[in-house]
Structures are given as structure tokens and as C-alpha cells.
Amino acid sequence: MIKICAMCGNNFETNKLNQKVCSAECKRMGNIIRNREYRKRMSNASKKKTTPPKKKAQRTLECYACGKSFERSFANEKFCSDECRLKYFKVNERNGL
């Protein structure tokens, strides 16, 4: 079966139906071109990716115990001080909560 090389355009003879190139040199050149195109696609894809900015937790909050507003340092803070935290849990412990 005579085919035309996909890289250089020369005619070549083969018994394989899926062979597209005439020599190892043409195969190497095809791999180089394919890899270059792949790297270019991947670099363009990574440039297009943008992640939306994360929502920040509300910085000011009312203390659960005393109701005073305070600026929290961590996302899970609920009390303005250790005294308020202890007072809150002592009161709720007595109430059975």
C-alpha cells in the first residue's frame, strides 16, 4: 500500500493501515510539533483561569454574652473576651442548655 507522509509529503510503502509518516525522523518532527501545540494550548488555558475572590467573614460581630460589638480575629470567634465566653457557658450550664 502506498501512502503520502503527513510530515514531508513523500510517497512511502507500508503494510500498516494507521501509519502516517515515512520515517523515524518524520515521526520525531511530528512529535515535536504536537508537543509544542499542546504546551501552547495548556499555557493559554492556565492564563484564562481566574478564581473568584474569596468572601471574607464579617469582621465586626456582637458578643453572644454581653452584646458589645467587637472585631474578630478568627472566623469562629463569638465572644469579645474569655470572661464573656466563660460567663456565657456558666449561665447556659445552669439553664440546662
Cα 57 from chain centroid (whole Å): 22
pLDDT greater at residue 17 or residue 55: 17
Structure confidence by residue, pLDDT tens digits, 44-78: 877 766 667 776 666 888 998 899 999 888 888 88
Report the alpha-carbon distance of residue 97 to residue 65 in Å, rounded.
Answer: 14
20 in Cβ contact with 1 (< 8 Å): no
- Specify the pLDDT at position 57: 63
Q: What is the DSSP code string of 65-79?
A: TT--EEE-SSTT---
Q: What is the pLDDT of residue 22?
A: 94
| Residues 17 and 3 sit within 8 Å (Cβ to Cβ) | no
Report the SS3 class of residue 15: coil
